[in-house]
Structure 1
């Protein structure tokens, strides 16, 4: 095997000449991917004056030096551009957006959090979406203010996706 399975890191072999080149290439790739951060996502053209260590997620119609590297991470190094294909589940911090992006199903999703539930201080605050709750529309005593308040709460819960909408 000449490369690692996930990130194609170059492997060293017994009796190999110039091992430092392979070792340094592996360190460069690890430096780019470890706690990965990019300047921006979905750029198609390389920046004019990149700084060493800066990285970007390439868009779907790459141009110039990025041509042929759709959706890959492009990092500028002292040796020029390094292109690293993403793997499913990979996340990067997108500096320009202040959000994380995740690679799933062959595409980058920015700002999407996928979870079973959210806990704060050990207390569950969000979980799976619950069934629809119908708005009040009957009763022997109609309290217009209470009904308006209940409808506002239900609308907010639906807008946040916490309960399903109802078909009226």
Structure 2
């Protein structure tokens, strides 16, 4: 008597007596294997009190009536056990675990794994190996999402505590734990713990040359604007100035000149704004001697213009006293990229001289 090639159903032979027996046997097998569902997959021997129609996926190492039935399907029908040999492509649902498996010809394999997709088992216990939403994930980018928006909210279902924390952890200080922002897949900015444990913000014009913009020191919380222009300069000798016009207040030494945006040429200092922004400047000078000037003023020239009112410091109209009279000024200037700032001095009524090492100018970009 022949069987069908895929489900192994017995065929009725020509002129066969009691055809109903063969027909019913085929129906029993068909009933067992279509939408195959087993009680469990862990038994190696028959359970004590099976119900009619119960099916089990026999575990490896089967004994007793199931000896030699490893990985086959055991069907209990008409008071006895029948072995159903799986064919390649059979699906099987495990009622005990919820696993959905497929027979590959050699083993029962999770349906998702067999197809190269998500494992149903791992989906159930939360241990996915990768997940892609509208795009493919890979072994490096194990979570990949294409979406107009992504929402993370506190748990108000379980319920949770009302808090939400997103944790980014790295293996060691010299590694990176950061967020990368790209334009058309080319990096433009990143922040996080980048190659150390201080919080750092970096930007790049092309995805290859990076500029450190801000560093927050991890132990003190001090904020450093690494790329922000900062300078301070002084003159270490006395200098005479003719009265009656604004003159270049001279300087010959930098205490510091971060980023090199200030320059001294022939003792004339000029600061050039590298970018548009708000800059804070300070300026001071101490009178040393002269022929009795009536007034001493200092100020800042922007783009070669005479110092404006909000950049001036003056002695007033009182007598100018050697070694005691000092002018100082501070100015908050909004500059465009390329604007220049230079310190100036003006004596009225007579020539004057400033004291060595007691004049200074400084500036910094603050916003």
1:148 alignment counterpart:
none
Conserved? CA contact 1:74–1:84, under 8 Å: yes
Higher share of residues assigned helix: 1
**Residues 111-142 of structure 1: per-residue CA shift (max 9 Å, x gap):** 74544668xxxxx8365433636864463146
- For residues 10-21 of structure 1, the aligned pairs below 5 Å read 10-21=10-21
- What 5-or-longer segments of structure 2 have no aligned partner? 119-131, 142-175, 179-193, 196-201, 203-211, 217-367
Conserved? CA contact 1:10–1:26, under 8 Å: yes
Q: SS where residue 30 of structure 2 aligns?
A: helix
2:138 alignment counterpart:
130
Q: Output the aligned Cα RMSD.
A: 2.8
2:92 alignment counterpart:
92
| Inter-CA distance 142–100: structure 2 relative to 1 (3 Å threshold) | farther
1:110 and 1:15 map into 2 onto residues whose CA distance is 44
1:76 and 1:12 map into 2 onto residues whose CA distance is 23
| Inter-CA distance 125–50: structure 2 relative to 1 (3 Å threshold) | same
2:102 and 2:25 map into 1 onto residues whose CA distance is 25
- For residues 15-164 of structure 1, the aligned pairs below 5 Å read 15-110=15-110, 112-115=112-115, 125=133, 128-130=136-138, 132=140, 136=178, 137=194, 139=202, 140-141=212-213
Larger Rg belongs to: 2
Q: Which has the higher contact order (CA 8 A, sep 6+)?
A: 1
* Superposed structure 1 runs of 4+ greater than 4 Å apart: 110-118, 133-136
Conserved? CA contact 1:43–1:56, under 8 Å: yes
Conserved? CA contact 2:87–2:105, under 8 Å: no
**Residues 70-123 of structure 1: per-residue CA shift (max 9 Å, x gap):** 1100011114111111112211111111221222251113474544668xxxxx
| Inter-CA distance 116–102: structure 2 relative to 1 (3 Å threshold) | closer
- What 5-or-longer segments of structure 1 have no aligned partner? 119-123, 145-168
Higher share of residues assigned strand: 2
